[in-house]
Amino acid sequence: MPRVFYPLSLMSKCVALFVLVVGMASGCTTTSALQPVAATAPAVVTEKSASIVVDSSTGAVLYQASADLPRIPASLTKMMTLYLTFEALDSGRLTKTTIIPVSAHAASQAPSKLGFRPGQSIDVDTAIKAIVIKSANDVAVALAEALGGSEPQFAAMMTAKARQLGMKGTTFNNASGLPDPMQITTARDMALLGMALRKHFPQQYYYFALHDFTFNGKLVQGHNRVLAQLNGADGIKTGYVRASGFNIVTSVYDNGRQLVAVVMGGNTAKARDQQVVDLVHSYLPMAASR
């Protein structure tokens, strides 16, 4: 029988510390260390675009543009939701057959979603696939409530984990990436998170390379077209809300060379995809061979 996982009781109310990064807009650089900038006072996001390419083997930055300026993560947020889910799997708090209940709050989330009704449930394995492939907001919130007791408490956990990983320019305020004026990140931070997912959870990382999954007898196909366009592409996540433009974090492992490339603020999904493909083709030969 699958194990049923019920949300924790509400913890004491946390005072969220919203920390934003104001960095100097930078042009193209080569082989500089991946060092997050220090946090400063909140800043207004006036631009959407940012990008960075990092050699995952050495941490060397091969290219960057506006990599430390505050940007809106959109569904790249779910990378951290999955990071904390993978931690729970590693600790034994969850198993892949654990059943997660879907609350009214989770079911009420805007699309993209699987369309649960309050009181329904989903197992963890399917939940991970739904987040990676479908970018399901209802499922992300259900996991958040199960692991944090409430979505705001889980968002505080997400931000705390970001600080532990060196993501000094990121503040999370929800688990899905749906619009929130206080939810901010940087391209550099998203690269850090992408590399941390591969490094810390090699047994779970295969989820990010999946193109589709079956739910209720129907094939659900993913949004990440770059997986089919790049040799060695194995993830990680796309994202879009109107305020952010089209975002992507792409991981590539090809012929012993490993990159993470981040593009944020694309005008269209096609333009974003082409930009990240071009960046990988340009900078993969510069990456160290393992």
Residues within the annotated binding site for substrate? Answer: 237
With 0-12 / 13-18 / 19 or more C-beta atoms within 10 angstroms meaning exposed / middle / buried, residue 27 is: exposed
Residue type, 157: M
d(CA 1, CA 158): 31
> Is residue 78 flagged as an active site residue?
yes
- DSSP H/E element including 153: helix 151-164
d(CA 151, CA 107): 13
- Give the chain's length: 290
Which tokens sit at 86? 């993978």
> Is residue 135 flagged as an active site residue?
yes
Active-site entry in 51, 56, 66, 135: 135
Active-site entry in 48, 51, 56, 78: 78
Those residues whose C-beta lies under 8 Å from the C-beta of residue 57, and which sit 6 or more positions away, are 257, 258, 287, 288, 290
> Is residue 49 flagged as an active site residue?
no
Active-site entry in 51, 75, 150, 251: 75
Q: Annotated binding residues, as ranges?
A: 237
Residues marked as catalytic: 75, 78, 135
